[in-house]
Structure 1
């Protein structure tokens, strides 16, 4: 993509997200239709589905040859990373959305032949949009983020998955105790915005492509590390426990994970 194509794509996707946010806020106090997927804590609502259908429709019009991987299944069956792939999470943190009407995000990312091109994470309630990529830069609303301080695990707060901590998977309790404190937000998008703003030094959770697609692009652009929990390369279509952290915190965490 040349610079003009990047600018045009950023402008178009930002407009989609503004419109989608308005749609969600208009319906947020309405009675939701809530269904379960894999279990009682894995929810989907009529607004998740409507939002994904909205994004899929917009992407089909804007980039008709591309494949679309969406959490709720309104896109394509994507089994390889060839070509242009849009990855969509229409409501990230659905439990928060249902129970709190807060702390949830919308996420979109674009990959071409497995390489991250552009990512977008919108904190819906706070109206914060993190967007960009390696050839564009990363911005929070209109402010460019040039770097994230390379903080050690022991000097920062870390975002963790509640179930991983409760079950002490991968020595997660030691990781929490080594940090200055853990935070559990219940939304990958909200956690990752906090990492890229420098509020958290890392985030660990079991994630699927729509959960980490945008964050992976930002991490690679800003010099942070996003890998599997044991430090291996994270494939675009992977569904694994994921570790996002500053380089120093990433090193510290792997030492604990592998002990």
Structure 2
């Protein structure tokens, strides 16, 4: 895709996100309709659904022939990376949204034939937008992202999945102990923003495409590494344990995982 086209799409998506954020904030203190999906910890609300319907409708109007992969199922059945594919997570961190009314994000990504073109992660309450891609660069609230220091695991904090630590999957306890400390935020989007801003050296969790689609584009554009937990290439449609980190911390984690 050409720069002019990407810049036009970028401007349009930022408009959707502003409107989407306004919609969420307008309804955040209303009585939520909450239901479970796969377990009592996997929630969906009426706001998740409304927000996804809104974003999907905007994409349909803007690009009718594109396919859309949305967490709540209002897009298309996407089983290949061919053509234009949008990935939408209307509320990332729904448990946080329900219980805290904080620490949740809206995420949108655009892929073209499997190549990440543009990614967006909006911290709704913090009103912080990480956006961009490999051709236009990565921006933090409209300003070029500050270069990320290549910090080692031992010198930084790391975001980890609580259940993975409790079950010591992939030697998560050792990873936590080798770092300066672990943080559990409960939202992939918030964790990814923290890595992009240099607040964390990495993040590990089981993720689905809507959890990492935008982050993969932004992080790789910013020089970070995002792979499967064992260092293999992460496909756009993967659902697996994901390792995001600085290059040094990534190498450190793989050494521990491989023990």
Q: How far apart in 1 are the matches of 2:222 and 2:131?
A: 12
Number of aligned residue pairs: give it. Answer: 259
* SS in structure 2 of the partner of residue 41 of structure 1: coil
Name the SS of the counterpart of 2:233 in structure 1.
Answer: coil
Question: 2:228 maps to what in 1?
Answer: 228
1:80 match: secondary structure: coil
Q: Write the deviation string for residues 83-121 of structure 1: whole angstroms up to 9, x where unpaired.
A: 000000000000000000000000000000000000000
TM-score by length of 1: 0.99
Determine helix, strand or coil for the equivalent of 1:82: coil
Q: 1:93·1:187 contact (CA, 8 Å) conserved in 2?
A: yes
After the TM superposition, which residues 140-179 of structure 1 pair with which residues of structure 2 at under 5 Å, given as runs?
140-145=140-145, 147-179=147-179
- Residue 146 of structure 1 contacts residue 222 of structure 1 at CA under 8 Å; is this kept in 2? no
Output the aligned Cα RMSD: 0.6
User: How high is the TM-score relative to the length of structure 2?
Assistant: 0.99
Match of 1:237 in 2: 237
Deviations 1:101-144 (A, max 9, x none): 00000000000000000000000000000000000100011210
Large movers: runs of 4+ above 2 Å:
none
Asked if structure 1 preserves the Cα contact closer than 8 Å seen for 2:159 and 2:191, the reply is yes
Gaps of 5+ in 1: none
Matching residue of 2:96: 96
Q: In the alignment, what sits opposite 1:129?
A: 129
**TM-aligned CA deviation for residue 210 of structure 1:** 0.3
Structure 2 residue runs without a partner (length 5+):
none
The equivalent residue for 1:4 is 4
For residues 85 and 6 of structure 2, what CA distance do their matches in structure 1 show? 15
Distance 1:130 1:224 in 2: 14
Matches of 1:222 and 1:123, distance apart in 2: 18
Q: Tell me by how many angstroms 1:55 deviates.
A: 0.4
Q: Is the partner of 1:96 in helix, strand or coil? A: helix
SS across alignment from 1:122: strand
| Equivalent-residue separation in structure 2 for 1:142 and 1:223 (angstroms) | 19
